[in-house]
Chains A and B, each alone.
Chain A
Amino acid sequence: MMMPQTALLVGILTPLAVACLTPFLANRPVWRDAAGPIGGVVTFIAALKVALAVQAGETPRLFVAQIADGLAIDFAVTPLGAIFGLVASGLWILAGLYSVGYMRGAKEKHQTRFAAFYAVAVHAAMAIAWSGNLLVLFVFYEILTFSTYPLVTHKESQAARDAGRLYMSILVGTSIVLLLPAVIWVWMVTGNLEFRSGGILADALDPKMAPVLLALFAFGVGKAALMPIHRWLPAAMVAPTPVSALLHAVAVVKAGVFTILTTVVYVFGIDFLSESGATTWLVWLASFTILSSSFVAITKDDIKARLAYSTISQLSYIVLGAAIASSVAVQGAALHIVMHAAGKITLFFCAGAIYVQAHLTKISELDGQGREMPWIFAAFFIGALSIIGIPPAGGSWSKFMLMVGAVDSQLYFVLAVLGLSSLLNIYYLLEPLSRGFFRPKVRDVSIESHPLVVIPPVITALLSLALFFYVDLFADLASLMVAP
Chain B
Amino acid sequence: MNDGGLIGIFLQNLPVLVVVIPLLLAPILAIITAPRVAWVVSVAGVGSAFLAAILLQSITESIGRVTYHLGNWEPPWGIEFVVDSATSLTLVIMTGLAFLATLYARASLLAEIKHTDLGKCYAAWLLASGGLFGLVATGDAFNLFVFLEISALSSAILISMGAGADRRALSAGFNYLLIGAVGATFYVIGVGFVYAITGTLNIADLVTRIADLGGGAALYAGFGFMIAGIMVKAAVFPVHIWLPAAYGYAPSAVSSLLAAIATKAALYVLARLLFTLFAGVPDITELAVTYVIVPLSLAGIFVGTVMAIYEKDIKLLLAHSSVAQIGYIALGFGLASSASVAASFVHICNHALIKGGLFMAVGGFVAALSSRANLASFVGIGRRMPITATAFTVCGLSLAGLPLTAGFISKLYLVRAILAEDAYVIAALVLLSSALSLIYLWKIIEVMWMQPVPAKSPNLVENPAIYLPIWVVALANIWFGVDASWLVAASRAAAAALLGGGL
The answer to whether A and B come from one shared complex is yes
- A residues near B (Cβ < 8 Å) are 65-68, 71, 73, 135, 138-139, 142-143, 146, 153, 156, 161, 164-165, 168-169, 172-173, 176-177, 180-181, 184-185, 187-188
Query: Nearest 10 pairs between A and B by C-beta?
Result: A139-B403, A176-B435, A173-B435, A68-B488, A177-B431, A142-B403, A177-B435, A184-B416, A176-B434, A184-B415
Out of B402, B416, B420, B482, which one reaches A142, CB within 8 Å?
Answer: B402
Q: Judge if B432 is at the interface, Cβ distance under 8 Å.
A: yes
What are the residues of chain A within 8 A of B400 when measuring CB–CB? Answer: 172
Given A168-B442, A184-B416: A73 and B401 interface contact (C-beta under 8 Å):
no
Bound Cα distance A53, B397 (Å):
38
What are the residues of chain A within 8 A of B442 when measuring CB–CB? Answer: 165, 168-169
Please give 9 more A-B residue pairs, beta carbons under 8 A apart, in addition to A67-B483, A165-B446: A65-B482, A65-B483, A67-B485, A143-B403, A172-B400, A173-B435, A177-B431, A181-B427, A188-B416
- B residues near A (Cβ < 8 Å) are 397, 400-404, 409, 411-412, 415-416, 419-420, 427-428, 431-432, 434-435, 438-439, 442, 446, 450, 452, 482-485, 488
Given A67-B483, A161-B450, A168-B442: A146 and B397 interface contact (C-beta under 8 Å):
yes
Contact in complex: A156, B450 (CB < 8 Å) = yes
What are the residues of chain B within 8 A of A156 when measuring CB–CB? Answer: 450, 452
Q: List 13 A-B contacts (CB under 8 A).
A: A67-B409, A68-B484, A68-B488, A153-B450, A161-B446, A164-B450, A172-B438, A173-B438, A176-B431, A177-B431, A180-B431, A181-B428, A187-B416
Q: Determine how close the nearest CB of chain A comes to the CB of B71; give it in whole angstroms.
A: 43
Bound Cα distance A173, B485 (Å):
28
Q: Determine how close the nearest CB of chain A comes to the CB of B418; give it in whole angstroms.
A: 9
The majority secondary structure among interface residues of chain A is helix
Bound Cα distance A168, B400 (Å):
13
Contact in complex: B431, A188 (CB < 8 Å) = no
For A174, the closest partner residue in chain B by CB is B435
Q: Determine how close the nearest CB of chain B comes to the CB of A370; give it in whole angstroms.
A: 39
Contact in complex: B450, A184 (CB < 8 Å) = no
Contact in complex: B484, A67 (CB < 8 Å) = yes
Contact in complex: B488, A181 (CB < 8 Å) = no
Contact in complex: B452, A181 (CB < 8 Å) = no
For B424, the closest partner residue in chain A by CB is A181
What are the residues of chain B within 8 A of A66 when measuring CB–CB? Answer: 485
Q: Determine how close the nearest CB of chain B comes to the CB of A63; give it in whole angstroms.
A: 14
Given A146-B397, A168-B438, A172-B438: A177 and B419 interface contact (C-beta under 8 Å):
no
What are the residues of chain A within 8 A of B401 when measuring CB–CB? Answer: 176
Out of B402, B415, B438, B439, which one reaches A181, CB within 8 Å?
Answer: B415
Contact in complex: A139, B404 (CB < 8 Å) = yes
Contact in complex: A188, B420 (CB < 8 Å) = yes
Bound Cα distance A181, B484 (Å):
20
Bound Cα distance A165, B440 (Å):
12
Bound Cα distance A169, B446 (Å):
13
Bound Cα distance A177, B436 (Å):
10
What are the residues of chain A within 8 A of B397 when measuring CB–CB? Answer: 146
What are the residues of chain B within 8 A of A71 when measuring CB–CB? Answer: 412
Bound Cα distance A184, B482 (Å):
17
Bound Cα distance A160, B269 (Å):
49
Bound Cα distance A73, B409 (Å):
13
Contact in complex: A188, B484 (CB < 8 Å) = no
Contact in complex: A184, B412 (CB < 8 Å) = yes
Given A73-B482, A165-B442, A173-B438: A180 and B416 interface contact (C-beta under 8 Å):
no
Contact in complex: A181, B419 (CB < 8 Å) = yes
Q: Determine how close the nearest CB of chain B comes to the CB of A252; give it in whole angstroms.
A: 17
Q: Determine how close the nearest CB of chain A comes to the CB of B445; give it in whole angstroms.
A: 9
What are the residues of chain B within 8 A of A67 when measuring CB–CB? Answer: 409, 482-485
Bound Cα distance A156, B450 (Å):
7
What are the residues of chain B within 8 A of A135 when measuring CB–CB? Answer: 403
Given A139-B404, A143-B403, A177-B432: A184 and B419 interface contact (C-beta under 8 Å):
yes
Bound Cα distance A66, B452 (Å):
41
Bound Cα distance A177, B419 (Å):
14
What are the residues of chain A within 8 A of B488 when measuring CB–CB? Answer: 68
What are the residues of chain B within 8 A of A142 when measuring CB–CB? Answer: 402-403
Q: Determine how close the nearest CB of chain A comes to the CB of B376; give it in whole angstroms.
A: 17
Bound Cα distance A67, B487 (Å):
10
What are the residues of chain B within 8 A of A73 when measuring CB–CB? Answer: 482
Bound Cα distance A179, B391 (Å):
28
Bound Cα distance A71, B401 (Å):
17
Given A65-B482, A68-B485, A161-B446: A176 and B438 interface contact (C-beta under 8 Å):
yes
Choose among A156, A172, A187 the residue with the greatest number of B CB atoms under 10 Å from its CB.
A172
What are the residues of chain B within 8 A of A143 when measuring CB–CB? Answer: 402-404
Contact in complex: A180, B450 (CB < 8 Å) = no
Bound Cα distance A417, B244 (Å):
57
Contact in complex: B419, A188 (CB < 8 Å) = yes
What are the residues of chain A within 8 A of B483 when measuring CB–CB? Answer: 65, 67
What are the residues of chain B within 8 A of A161 when measuring CB–CB? Answer: 446, 450
What are the residues of chain B within 8 A of A139 when measuring CB–CB? Answer: 403-404
Bound Cα distance A61, B310 (Å):
47
Q: Determine how close the nearest CB of chain A comes to the CB of B6; give it in whole angstroms.
A: 39
Bound Cα distance A139, B482 (Å):
11
Bound Cα distance A173, B442 (Å):
12
What are the residues of chain B within 8 A of A187 when measuring CB–CB? Answer: 416
What are the residues of chain A within 8 A of B427 when measuring CB–CB? Answer: 181
What are the residues of chain A within 8 A of B411 when measuring CB–CB? Answer: 180
What are the residues of chain B within 8 A of A172 when measuring CB–CB? Answer: 400, 435, 438
